[in-house]
Amino acid sequence: GAVVSQHPSWVICKSGTSVKIECRSLDFQATTMFWYRQFPKQSLMLMATSNEGSKATYEQGVEKDKFLINHASLTLSTLTVTSAHPEDSSFYICSARGRGSTNTGELFFGEGSRLTVL
Amino acid sequence: AQSVSQHNHHVILSEAASLELGCNYSYGGTVNLFWYVQYPGQHLQLLLKYFSGDPLVKGIKGFEAEFIKSKFSFNLRKPSVQWSDTAEYFCAVNARTGGFKTIFGAGTRLFVKA
Measured between beta carbons, the chain A residues lying within 8 angstroms of B108 are none
CB pairs under 8 A between A and B: 51
**Model confidence at B83, in pLDDT bands (50, 70, 90)?**
very high
In this prediction, residue B99 carries a pLDDT of 72
Q: Whats the size of chain B, residue-wise? A: 114
pLDDT tens sequence across B61-74: 999 999 999 999 99
Q: How far is CA A113 from the centre of its chain?
A: 9
Per-residue pLDDT, averaged over B44-49, amounts to: 90
In this prediction, residue B98 carries a pLDDT of 73
How many angstroms separate the CA of residue B92 from the nearest CA in chain A?
Answer: 10
Other residues' Cβ atoms within 10 Å of the Cβ of residue A70: 15
Q: Is the pLDDT of residue B101 over 60?
A: yes
- What sign does the dihedral A93-A46-B47-B16 (CA atoms) show? positive
Per-residue pLDDT, averaged over A45-59, amounts to: 90
Return d(Cα A84, Cα A25) in angstroms, integer.
Answer: 26
User: Do A14 and A118 touch, CB atoms closer than 8 A?
Assistant: yes
Measured between beta carbons, the chain A residues lying within 8 angstroms of B102 are 34, 46, 95, 105, 107
Task: State the best of B39, B102, B103, B108 to mutate against chain A, taking most chain A CBs within 10 Å.
Answer: B102
Lowest mean pLDDT among B9-13, B85-89, B98-102: B98-102
E strands present in chain A: 4-7, 10-13, 19-25, 30-38, 44-51, 57-58, 67-73, 76-81, 90-98, 108-109, 113-117
Return d(Cα A94, Cα A109) in angstroms, integer.
Answer: 6
3-class SS at B10?
strand
In this prediction, residue B108 carries a pLDDT of 95
In this prediction, residue A101 carries a pLDDT of 57
Q: Is the pLDDT of residue B55 over 90?
A: yes
Q: Is the pLDDT of residue B40 over 70?
A: yes
Q: Which of A32, A105, A109 sits opposite B43 (nearest CB)?
A: A109
In this prediction, residue A1 carries a pLDDT of 62
Return d(Cα B114, Cα B107) in angstroms, integer.
Answer: 22
Return d(Cα A115, Cα A9) in angstroms, integer.
Answer: 8
- Sorted by sequence, the CB contacts under 8 Å of residue A61 that are 6+ apart come out as none
In this prediction, residue A88 carries a pLDDT of 95
Q: Is the pLDDT of residue A33 over 80?
A: yes
Measured between beta carbons, the chain A residues lying within 8 angstroms of B32 are 104-106
Return d(Cα A25, Cα B3) in angstroms, integer.
Answer: 28
In this prediction, residue B27 carries a pLDDT of 82
In this prediction, residue A42 carries a pLDDT of 74
- What sign does the dihedral A94-A25-B61-B30 (CA atoms) show? positive
**Model confidence at A99, in pLDDT bands (50, 70, 90)?**
low
Other residues' Cβ atoms within 10 Å of the Cβ of residue B68: 12
Return d(Cα A77, Cα A96) in angstroms, integer.
Answer: 9
Q: Is the peptide bond before B40 cis (omega within 30 degrees of 0)?
A: no
Return d(Cα A56, Cα A74) in angstroms, integer.
Answer: 14
Q: Is the pLDDT of residue B100 over 80?
A: no
Q: Among residues of chain A, what percentage have pLDDT more than 70?
A: 92
pLDDT tens sequence across B85-98: 999 999 999 887 77
Q: Could you tell me which residues of chain A have a Cβ less than 8 Å from any Cβ in chain B?
A: 1, 4, 32, 34, 36, 42-44, 46, 49, 93, 95, 97, 103-107, 109-112
Task: State the best of B3, B21, B50, B100 to mutate against chain A, taking most chain A CBs within 10 Å.
Answer: B100
